Structure 1
Amino acid sequence: MSALPPPRDPVTNAMTVDVEDYFQVAAFEECIRREDWPHWPVRVEGNTRRVLELFERNGVHATFFVLGWVAERFPALVRDISAAGHEIASHGFGHERLTHLSRAEFRDSITRTKRLLEDVTGTAVHGYRAPSYSIGPTTMWAHDELHEAGYRYSSSIVPIHHDLYGMPAAPRFPFFAERSGLLEIPVTTVRLCGRNWPCGGGGYFRLLPYALFRRGLRRVNRRERRAGVFYFHPWEVDPQQPRVPGATLRNRVRHYLNLSRTTPRLERLVRDFRFDRMDRVFLARSHADYPVVALQAVELYAH
């Protein structure tokens, strides 16, 4: 008789999917002009449906942060995600980093996308995630705009050092931004040797050995008794996607490394840990469960 699998950890984590296509990522923005997007083979619909099948096999519900660009072209896909019991949230409209937008352009993006997603699904949109986690020291005004637009939470900060994003001095766990009152839910990190290390998915999930990644998330769940936030993209389950010419070696490694391992690792992950939607993991808790943080003071202290 084969041994029974070990029980899942008791803490429920949040599973999230950033619904965008391979040609829309920041790694290729120097190689692919936005006006050329329509000329690239679109694979986001098929890849997202593969993700839905994986979740259905494993009894997982998740939050899908959907680009307005995708929802406008594939409304049936968005309706099917919602009908399967997943939360629909906003990823903005055109995957522009906030550092490339004016405040007025950002306001238009988040209101346009929220309205579109709600019209398509008939359900309220509460969550937002900035493309490339681009809420940072120079874009803290985004929390005010999100709150004004009717969002209840953001998951747009990663408290690590990174060349494209990161606020290493920000809290590691959910908090209310003092000025706006918006709930910010950072992507998970593990604290070791006096610094934060990534433990929330994306390229790190493909790069690191699975056992090391699992150890980090278990540390967060078991030692700190906190829920984690995991994320990935539909293009990460697609090893056959077209190769983009002209990308730097660093960006090719970031994007293509271990794509063939993503699906098997995801299957292991959802067997090893409990997962649910962002709104059910975090919004169901009391307001008093989360601290109020003045992010401007955090950044002044960090520098």
Structure 2
Amino acid sequence: MNKRNASLSVTVDIEDWYHIPSVCGSSFSTYPDVDGFFKHWHGRYDYLTEPTMRVLTLLDRYHITATFFVVADVVEHYPGLVESIVDQGHEIACHGLHHECKIDSVTKKPRFGRDDFEERTRKAKRILEKVSGERVVGYRAPNALIGGWMLDSLEKIGFLYDSSVCVNSFYNKTDSMLNGVSTDPYHPKIHGLESTINSDRSFIEFPWAHLDIGMKIPTSGGPMLRFLGAHIIQKGIHQSLSRGHTVFYFHPIDLSHETFPKVGNKRRFYWIIKGSVVEDRVKQILDGNSSVQYTCLRDYVEDGYGL
């Protein structure tokens, strides 16, 4: 990695409150999947549109082109929302068909067969390409639960990159040991997530930022932005930028001012911190990196930034 090409990608995960694993799509969720949720849920479900529009305004203010990882069923249930993101010139990438966990969070074993995964992901890719009018080349695993076998399938389907790997000292959401993986982009070995320098593979993994203080603290954003605050996240991003390109991410629903329905197994305090306090933290991160070159992930791949 050419450190002179260090840059930052702002990425936004477009999913609503019911997409999280305590509600849908995991081995411990209240509903087995999103289809089951909509079959039984008759109340209001859209807590996503309003904060997403505020995110678009915020990014426009900072002149940032971001990568939006979109759960494909959002296109059906939120008419016009993804189109609004496209109209602002942002990249559309794939966050799965229904945000279902592809590997079990405990055993790390596949929850779907390879053929089933590829069929679902192809469908999601087609939906997002139709609404965006552009080729969708990026993927992020729902809940960042990623297996090396998934990258082989993603490459086969036509994706150019993934951004799901989070190296830290507290948890591992992958099926690999992540040997040789840091925070800068790399080419993963075939059938795995580890880094390799002797590969003809063009597929790229964009791992997330962390702060290394003897232990590695996850600082890419998301829930950690809500629980750790902007200062630690910023330190981790700055340290990761010294290694090369890195990634910051958040969810529009992190910024929601509303109280979500009290549905879901486990994670009772998952949304205890959100709203204006998190929006202010996002602004602090963007203000603190005002001198950094921002690039969406697709442009990084297509422009060949030093990999």
TM-score (norm 1): 0.82
Task: For 2:139 and 2:161, locate their aligned partners in 1 and report how far apart those are by CA, in whole Å.
Answer: 6
Structure-2 residue corresponding to 1:97: 101
252-261 vs 62-71, which deviates more? Answer: 252-261
The answer for the alignment partner of 1:169 in structure 2 is 178
Does structure 1 retain, via aligned residues, the 8 Å contact 2:67–2:93?
A: yes
- Normalised to the residue count of structure 2, the TM-score between the two structures is 0.81
Match of 1:120 among 128, 131, 134: 131
User: 1:11 deviation in Å?
Assistant: 4.6
Separation in structure 2 between the aligned mates of residue 179 and residue 238 of structure 1, nearest angstrom: 40
Structure 1 residue ranges, 4+ long, deviating more than 6 angstroms after superposition: none
Which of 104, 111, 136 is 2:122 aligned to? 111
1:164–1:256 CA distance, 2 compared to 1 (3 A): farther
C-alpha change, 1:75 and 1:168, in structure 2 (3 Å) is: farther
Could you say which residue in structure 2 is the equivalent of 1:220? 240
Change beyond 3 A, Cα 1:102–1:233: same
* Larger deviation, residues 61-70 vs 181-190: 181-190
8 Å contact from structure 1 (residues 17, 232) kept in 2: yes
- State the shift of 1:66 in Å: 0.5
Q: 1:37 to 1:201 in 2, by over 3 A?
A: farther
Q: Which residue is equivalent to 2:22?
A: 27
Structure 2 partner of 1:186 = 207
Aligned residues: 271
The residue that corresponds to 2:68 in the other structure is: 64
Q: Note the residue ranges of structure 2 that are not aligned, 5 or more in a row.
A: 104-110, 192-200
CA drift of 1:89 comes to: 0.4
Match of 1:7 in 2: none
Question: Which position in structure 2 is the counterpart of 1:301?
Answer: none
Are residue 207 (structure 1) and residue 227 (structure 2) matched? yes
What residue identity is the alignment partner of 2:19?
A: Q
Partner of residue 297 from structure 2, selected from 278, 289, 297: 278
CA-atom RMSD in angstroms:
2.2
| 1:159 counterpart residue number | 167
- 8 A Cα contact 2:47 2:260, kept in partner: no
**SS of 2:260's equivalent?**
coil
The alpha-carbon distance between structure 1 residues 16 and 84, as it changes in their structure 2 partners (threshold 3 A), is: same
Q: 1:164 to 1:247 in 2, by over 3 A?
A: farther
Query: What is the distance in 2 between the residues matched to 1:246 and 1:76?
Result: 28
Pick closer, same or farther for the CA change 1:281–1:259 going to 2, 3 Å.
same
CA drift of 1:75 comes to: 4.7
**Deviation readout 1:227-264 (Å, 9 max, x if unpaired):** 2201111110113132424643xx13333324431111
Q: Secondary structure at the match of 1:176?
A: coil
Contact kept? 1:235, 1:241, Cα under 8 Å: no
- Residue 26 of structure 1 aligns to a residue whose secondary structure is coil
Instruction: Give CA-to-partner distance per residue, 1:153-183, whole Å, 9 cap, x none.
Output: 0112111255571456341221112327321
Determine whether 1:229 maps to 2:230.
no
- Aligned residue for 2:108? none
What SS does the aligned partner of 2:245 have?
coil
Q: What CA distance in whole angstroms lies between the structure 1 residues aligned with 2:276 and 2:102?
A: 31
Alignment check: 8 A CA contact 2:256 2:274 kept: no
Distance 1:141 1:227 in 2: 25
d(CA) in 1 for partners of 2:252, 2:262? 17
Instruction: Measure the CA separation in 1 of the matches of 2:98 and 2:229.
Output: 33
Partners of 1:213 and 1:117 in 2: how far apart?
30
Whole-angstrom distance in 2 between the partners of 1:254 and 1:241: 12
The answer on whether the counterparts of 2:51 and 2:253 sit within 8 Å (CA) in structure 1 is yes
Q: 1:254-293 maps to which residues of 2 (within 5 A)?
A: 254-273=270-289, 274=292, 275-285=294-304, 289-290=306-307
Listed one character per residue, the Cα deviations across residues 50-78 of structure 1 (whole Å, up to 9, x for unaligned) are: 21111112212100001111023335221
SS at match of 1:229: strand
Amino acid in the other structure paired with 1:242: F
Give deviations 1:157-210, integer Å, cap 9, x for gaps: 1112555714563412211123273211111122221x3221100111111132
Change (3 A) 1:263 1:31: same
Structure 1: gaps of 5 or more residues: 1-9, 291-303
Instruction: Give the 3-state SS of the residue equivalent to 2:69 in structure 1.
Output: strand
Cα distance in 1 for partners of 2:86, 2:99 equals: 21
Cα distance in 2, alignment partners of residues 163 and 243 from structure 1: 28
